[in-house]
Amino acid sequence: MKKLDIYIIRQFLSTLSMTLMGFVSVILVVDLIENLDRFIDNSIPAGITFTYYIYAVPWFINLGLPMSMLISTVFTVGILAKRNELTAMKSNGISLYRIAIPITAIGFIVSLISFELDNRWVTKGNKARYDIEREYMKRKARVRTQKEIRNIFLQKNEMNHISLARFRPETNAGNNITFISLDKGSVTKRMDAKTVKWLDSLKVWNVKNYSIRNFDTNGAVNNTIISKNDTIMNLNFSPDDITQQSKKPDEMSYSDLTARIKQLKENGVDSTKWEVDRYFKISFAFTNFIIVLFGIPLVVIRPKGGLSFGAGMGIFVIFIYYVFIKLGMSIGYSGIASPIAAAWMGNVLFFIGSILLLIFVRK
């Protein structure tokens, strides 16, 4: 590694560490102010609040990394331009592309670290935070204000598998349920129903518009019941099982999401949302790499006053970037685009934009 690379890397990493600490501090303070009324209303002890935010730190770091990477790129290249070091390098035959190599290498490495951080620490931290909310924040708890839970798959034990398209915790009612009983890996019974509602007084489910099929050892149907009326059934699970076991995507690692998607598909449940979230875990991690490519030419476009221009443009770019990320996810959730296209839409557009800027900017 040449002295030039070491010089640029040292300058970049020092700026990144300070910028990241600043962004994490701002995010933490904003989140604390936003949720202060929830902590007070639920009389949460200071120790629990402190633990809650300790678990939130990995998520804050992952959230602040793309912004920090862009600002660090702009400041690193901008300082080189301000000190006329960039001009000196060019006069010695060192192109902008050569200067960009150590910065983009850091961007790629940070992307891999971000993906690993999300899978190992962010998901565990989110699960721990949500557990605190479930236990201590009975009022105004974010995890308890969900109006509807979609695409639920529960496995109570090796014999009973349940899937629900939708469930509303407020009314304890759901739609499109499939209940499967297994014996040594073979299906012995399957129940499908249009609607279900929990009867708390009887601790059973009221099932309407249902069909029940019993299978023999060879897998053939030997008995079928179809009715548009309603009846009560003990399905060996309760609404608490749904709210407690239905993890959110940000509580699950990439491998957990892959397993969930496989289970949903095997039970005929739409897995589009989960697939978008799974691909988004990779695309968001590589935001750190693509945002660096986009940030390098921002300063060089205007050498005079390039640092202030680059910083201003950097904030604007990261805002537009997040808009495209959210837009892509919304398109994916609605099924307008494939999950992988929706999750990577923002990254692909900005990657193309960064390559065009690098081509047309002065070398």
Convert the pLDDT of each residue in 81-122 to its tens digit: 777 777 788 777 788 888 889 999 999 999 999 999 999 899
Give the integer Cα–Cα distance in Å for 311 and 74: 6
Please tell me whether residues 100 and 48 are part of one structural domain.
Answer: yes
Is 243 inside a domain boundary? no
How do residues 291-310 score in pLDDT, each as one tens digit? 998 888 877 776 555 566 66
Is 263 inside a domain boundary? no
Please tell me whether residues 190 and 86 are part of one structural domain.
Answer: no
Please tell me whether residues 134 and 161 are part of one structural domain.
Answer: no
Do residues 173 and 164 make contact, with C-beta atoms less than 8 angstroms apart? no
- The band of 21, judged by pLDDT with boundaries at 50, 70 and 90, is very high
What pLDDT was estimated at residue 27? 93
How do residues 153-167 score in pLDDT, each as one tens digit? 777 666 788 888 888
3-state secondary structure of 225: strand
User: How many Cβ atoms are within 10 Å of 247's Cβ, its own excluded?
Assistant: 15
Q: Structure tokens of 315?
A: 């904030």
Q: Are strands 149-155 and 204-215 parallel, antiparallel or unpaired?
A: unpaired
Is 197 inside a domain boundary? yes
Please tell me whether residues 9 and 134 are part of one structural domain.
Answer: yes
Do residues 64 and 20 make contact, with C-beta atoms less than 8 angstroms apart? yes
In the listed set 236, 254, 289, which residue is the last one of a domain according to the structure?
A: 236
Please tell me whether residues 74 and 36 are part of one structural domain.
Answer: yes
Please tell me whether residues 36 and 121 are part of one structural domain.
Answer: yes
**CA torsion 271→275→278→281, rounded to 10°?**
-140
Please tell me whether residues 71 and 37 are part of one structural domain.
Answer: yes
DSSP state of 65: H
How do residues 53-88 score in pLDDT, each as one tens digit? 999 999 999 999 999 999 899 888 888 877 777 778
Placement of tokens 């060019």 in the chain: 90
Give the integer Cα–Cα distance in Å for 129 and 123: 10
Is 265 inside a domain boundary? no
Do residues 233 and 207 make contact, with C-beta atoms less than 8 angstroms apart? yes
In the listed set 236, 252, 269, which residue is the last one of a domain according to the structure?
A: 236
* pTM confidence score: 0.74
What average pLDDT does the segment 7-13 reach?
A: 92
Please tell me whether residues 126 and 169 are part of one structural domain.
Answer: no
Q: Residue 81: which domain range?
A: 3-139+277-360
Placement of tokens 């978008």 in the chain: 276
The stretches of the chain forming alpha helices (DSSP H) are: 3-41, 46-82, 85-91, 96-117, 123-136, 239-245, 254-266, 272-285, 287-301, 306-334, 339-360
- The band of 311, judged by pLDDT with boundaries at 50, 70 and 90, is low
Please tell me whether residues 176 and 220 are part of one structural domain.
Answer: yes
Is 270 inside a domain boundary? no
Q: Please give the mean pLDDT across all residues of the chain.
A: 85
Please tell me whether residues 71 and 217 are part of one structural domain.
Answer: no
Q: What percent of the chain has pLDDT over 70?
A: 90
Name the domain count of the chain: 2
Placement of tokens 């702009």 in the chain: 74
Please tell me whether residues 66 and 20 are part of one structural domain.
Answer: yes
Is 121 inside a domain boundary? yes
In the listed set 236, 251, 267, which residue is the last one of a domain according to the structure?
A: 236
Give the integer Cα–Cα distance in Å for 150 and 274: 10
Please tell me whether residues 135 and 281 are part of one structural domain.
Answer: yes
Is 286 inside a domain boundary? yes
Is 226 inside a domain boundary? yes
How do residues 134-152 score in pLDDT, each as one tens digit? 777 755 444 444 567 877 8
- The residues near 228 (Cβ < 8 Å, ≥ 6 apart) are 208, 209
DSSP string of 155-216, one letter each residue: E-SSSEEEEEEEEETTTTEEEEEEEEEEETTEEEEEEEEEEEEEETTTTEEEEEEEEEEEE-
